[in-house]
Structure 1
Amino acid sequence: MIFSVLFGLMLPLVMLPGRIACAFPESFGATTDPPPNILIITVDNVGYGDLKPFNDASSIITPNLNLFASQGALLTNFYTASPTCTASRAALLTGRIPQRNKLSEQLVGLEGNYGIGLSHSEIILPQLVKKSPHGYATAAFGKWNIGFAPGSRPTERGFDEFLGIASGNADHFTHVYAGRKDLYHNTTAINRHGEYSTDLFANAAIDFIKAKTSNEIPWMVYLPFDAPHHPGDRNVAPGEPNNWKAPDYAFEPYGLSPGVKDPKKRFNAVVTAIDLAIGRVMETLDELGIADHTFVFLYSDNGAFYPYLDIQSNAPLRGAGVTLWEGGIRVPAIARWPGKIKANSTITTRLWSPDLFVGVAELAGAELPQDRFIDGKNPIPVLTGQTIHSPHATLFFKYQSHAALIWGDYKILREKPEDPWMLFNLREDQAETTDLAGSHPDFVRKMEEPYRLTEAEINRYLEREQKKRNFQR
């Protein structure tokens, strides 16, 4: 019975012909003429408690993000589909969880980052938007991290323009990854040594937005900042300290010298630099008179990592990135669309990153792929206040040995397959301090069943997909 209900919830995304059905009034979304511009911003490893709109105790100065939040909605129950960078980005871009798009692990090293990465058979956001009849221009500026082999690069996968790094935690000023210059414009390696990556990416986005707006072309921009992720040791030149790197101007709001050694103060400056960059992008929308006609969504790709929890914060959540504790997968998110998304509001309804794939299709009037399963569901009715109910009955998570499922107020979690399930009431205990499995074994059994059935459904789906590919050969 449970499987029937779950399959019934999944079926409409697989079988519905043409564009997804509009679930809100004609003044919203895909029926808008002209269609809205779309700006998707991600930040890298920002914890739930790092930003002041989510944690008033945060010492990080972010006036522009504070303003952004006051103009839109805070999403306090938003999840990333994976607690690691590569898999998180692939889930956003495909609308499919890592187990389904098969990019479930972090790409590392030159071999990983310059390999195929995400399968070429996957349809990603810009390819989806290109199905819109409205002639969207598309661009990506920032961290790619899902494969950079020929055929895998952004401008070969639907983006009209790309400026960014191919890999992950490159140095923010030299753009070096493992001894190699990692910065590209489209498919050409470029050298912008000394220019801070956050500013490079924001400036490129601003230039693209101005150019397309002046020509009255609707646009979708994917702006995945590579900060504040700490640079890897192998990406910093010999003899240079590997510290949190920020431009001099980002220390000024704190009254600090750029030479300050304290890692917490340096991290704060890195986030403030992001805030200032986002502020310039938002000011550009205002100056061009298109702020009211632009859907903006910002979230962190995953939670802060364990080595830095004395510097960063996932408060009040437990755990960190690369785990399925709430601190790894529940992330800060903000949405703004003036006149459509209520200003200075809070949305507690549960959504997750694959939903943006479906939401963008709705906004752009694009057709969803009909030949594959999409795990995301349309978030626009929730964001625009048409409903307070989540489009998801459950959320399924799996990362390496970790597993979790959220259903209603409850979450089951285990760190190893041989471990017993833990049970938490997220409404009453979002910090996951009290394991209820011993006192509610019936709840555990009830939630374990949809986890098992969902896992089995995914495996059967992948088997069918493989048979289909083999037949096509």
Structure 2
Amino acid sequence: MNTPVQITLSLALLLSTTCIASNRSVAAGNPQDPPPNILIITVDNVGYGDLRPFNQASPIHTPNLNLLARQGAVLTDFYTASPTCTASRAALLTGRIPQRNKLSEQLVGLAGNYGVGLPQSEIILPQVVKNSPHGYATAAFGKWNIGFAPGSRPTERGFDEFLGIASGNADHFTHVYAGRKDLYQNTTAINRHGEYSTDLFANAAISFIEEKTGTGQPWMVYLPFDAPHHPGDRNVAPGEPNIWKAPDYAFEPYGVSPEVTDPKRRFNAVVTAIDLAIGRVMKRLDALGIADNTFVFFYSDNGAFYPYLDIQSNAPFSGAGVTLWEGGIRVPAIVRWPGRVAANSRIGTRLWSPDLFVAAASLAAAPLPQDRFIDGRDPLPVLTGETIHSPHASLYFRYQNFAALIWGDYKILREKPSEPWKLFHLREDPSESRDLAEMRPDLVKKLEEPYRLTEAEIESYLEREKNALP
């Protein structure tokens, strides 16, 4: 006899595939239209308040991201499924929350980054897009950070091409991580000493896009910049300063010398360098005449970290990366798809990073895996204005001792399992400064129940998955 949790899981899987199938028509458009190209850009530890489309008081020069926002839509309520680099990237690439894809912690050290990382049984985004009838080419340029053992590397998991770093935060000019050269072309270590990583990755993306566009082949590019991740002492040679590093041209908009020592100004220049690189990619799409047929999605993998909040900003939110306060998981996101996503618009519907897995499959008209639970839902009806309603009734988060659940305007949060839940009304109090738990114990109980049921469903799912293994 099936248990209630097993029945719930079966229904959830059915609803998941039914929902996805019903939304595929959103991307299809005219049957004669060429399949859209897909460009997913991520940045590393950029806070919600660091970018002017989200915080007009930001001092950082980002003219190209500002333009991208005017050409498309700013997503004010977009969440990453995990507040740390490795787990957030795995959630994007699998469409599954960390508790399901089993990569819930940050990979650290050479052993972690060069280990298996994300289980090789997981199906990742390029593998799905490869099942499209349209013959997509796929590439990744930038930060990998989910495991680089044989069988775990990008070109062994569905990407046709890769240029990037295996780890999470190599030096931007020497590409060294923990005393080891960390830059790879496909699976081969290469030396491009002195070339700024942001430009390396953008240039590689542009070359790939030019080549595939020239042959008429649709493409999907994953462009995960490793900047502006805070500088790491382990990545600089003995005797060198551990500072935010940017190319000389990125300091020019601020009228300061590249030798400036103020860390805030140096950080700003790092972000401006990313902006200029993104601008070059966008201009190339225009020059190639493919901008209107390219779905572009930009977001930050998680919020800025606590030690750097005097340099960066998660405003107006509390908390930071590696926490489940809004500052850790609510991130800046922009989407552009001319003619389908309304220009100069703002979308306040709640979405999250696993949805991009489903969006890419829908855009490519590729079937989703049917043998596993996908936590993402198709965001295209929201992004294209077909509906204002989120495809998610609630969002569940767990990271280390942190736990949270968002349902409607309310969020419960606790920092340790032994602590009582806090309760916040996110619309009225996005900074999470007023705990309503004592005033509204009924609402705490109401949100705690789906959290508890989700935990039970995940445990049942993992048990069934384990029992299904040969």
Asked if these proteins are the same fold (TM beyond 0.5), I'd say yes
- Map of 1:314 onto structure 2: 314
For residues 185-196 of structure 1, the aligned pairs below 5 Å read 185-196=185-196
Structure 2 distance, partners of 1:6, 1:379, is 23
- Map of 1:288 onto structure 2: 288
Asked if 1:82 corresponds to 2:82, the answer is yes
1:194–1:298 Cα change, 3 Å: same
Q: CA deviation at 1:128?
A: 0.4
- Map of 1:326 onto structure 2: 326
For residues 66-465 of structure 1, the aligned pairs below 5 Å read 66-465=66-465
Q: CA deviation at 1:223?
A: 0.0
Asked if 1:28 corresponds to 2:40, the answer is no
Amino acid at match of 1:209: I
Structure 2 distance, partners of 1:148, 1:90, is 13
Structure 1 residue runs without a partner (length 5+)? none
SS at match of 2:163: strand
Amino acid at match of 2:374: I
Q: CA deviation at 1:16?
A: 4.3
- Cα deviations across residues 125-178 of structure 1 (Å, max 9, x unaligned)? 000000100000000000000000000000000000000000011100000000
Asked if 1:52 corresponds to 2:45, the answer is no
- Conservation of the 8 A alpha-carbon contact between 1:172 and 1:231: no
- Cα deviations across residues 104-144 of structure 1 (Å, max 9, x unaligned)? 00000000000000001000000000010000000000000
SS at match of 1:49: helix
- Cα deviations across residues 170-219 of structure 1 (Å, max 9, x unaligned)? 10000000000000000000000000000000000000000000000000
Structure 1 distance, partners of 2:263, 2:8, is 47
SS at match of 2:158: coil
1:245–1:9 Cα change, 3 Å: farther
- Conservation of the 8 A alpha-carbon contact between 2:24 and 2:365: no
Structure 2 distance, partners of 1:256, 1:329, is 33
- Cα deviations across residues 88-107 of structure 1 (Å, max 9, x unaligned)? 00000000000000000000
Amino acid at match of 1:405: L
- Cα deviations across residues 223-272 of structure 1 (Å, max 9, x unaligned)? 00000001211111111111110000000011110000000000000000
- Conservation of the 8 A alpha-carbon contact between 2:27 and 2:380: no
Q: Which 4+ residue blocks in structure 1 deviate beyond 2 angstroms?
A: 2-17, 19-29
Structure 1 distance, partners of 2:118, 2:136, is 23
Amino acid at match of 1:276: L
Q: CA deviation at 1:27?
A: 5.5
SS at match of 2:83: coil
Structure 2 distance, partners of 1:441, 1:268, is 43
Taking only aligned residues, the RMSD between alpha carbons, in angstroms, comes to 1.7
Amino acid at match of 1:163: L
Amino acid at match of 2:210: K
Q: CA deviation at 1:22?
A: 3.1
Amino acid at match of 2:59: S
- Conservation of the 8 A alpha-carbon contact between 1:14 and 1:372: no
- Map of 2:13 onto structure 1: 11
- Conservation of the 8 A alpha-carbon contact between 1:405 and 1:411: yes
Amino acid at match of 1:328: G
Deviates more, 1:226-235 or 1:3-12: 3-12
Amino acid at match of 2:29: F
1:339–1:5 Cα change, 3 Å: farther
Structure 1 distance, partners of 2:411, 2:12, is 20
Asked if 1:39 corresponds to 2:39, the answer is yes
SS at match of 2:49: coil
1:9–1:55 Cα change, 3 Å: farther
Structure 2 distance, partners of 1:130, 1:203, is 24
Amino acid at match of 2:266: R
- Conservation of the 8 A alpha-carbon contact between 2:406 and 2:412: yes
SS at match of 1:405: strand
Q: CA deviation at 1:323?
A: 0.0
Structure 1 distance, partners of 2:331, 2:28, is 30
Structure 1 distance, partners of 2:149, 2:215, is 33
SS at match of 2:48: coil
Structure 2 distance, partners of 1:143, 1:455, is 31
Amino acid at match of 1:326: E
- Conservation of the 8 A alpha-carbon contact between 2:23 and 2:381: no
Amino acid at match of 1:109: G
Structure 1 distance, partners of 2:111, 2:55, is 39
Q: Taking structure 2 as the reference length, what is the TM-score of the superposition?
A: 0.97
1:117–1:351 Cα change, 3 Å: same
1:237–1:127 Cα change, 3 Å: same
1:138–1:13 Cα change, 3 Å: farther
Amino acid at match of 1:116: V
- Cα deviations across residues 346-373 of structure 1 (Å, max 9, x unaligned)? 0000000000000111000000000000
Structure 2 residue runs without a partner (length 5+)? none
Q: CA deviation at 1:10?
A: 2.7
- Conservation of the 8 A alpha-carbon contact between 2:36 and 2:218: yes
Amino acid at match of 2:116: I
- Conservation of the 8 A alpha-carbon contact between 2:295 and 2:337: yes
Deviates more, 1:226-235 or 1:53-62: 226-235
Q: How many residues align?
A: 467
SS at match of 2:307: helix
Q: CA deviation at 1:34?
A: 1.3
- Conservation of the 8 A alpha-carbon contact between 1:24 and 1:386: no
Structure 2 distance, partners of 1:26, 1:128, is 16
Structure 2 distance, partners of 1:452, 1:32, is 47
Q: Taking structure 1 as the reference length, what is the TM-score of the superposition?
A: 0.96
1:409–1:173 Cα change, 3 Å: same
Structure 2 distance, partners of 1:362, 1:397, is 25
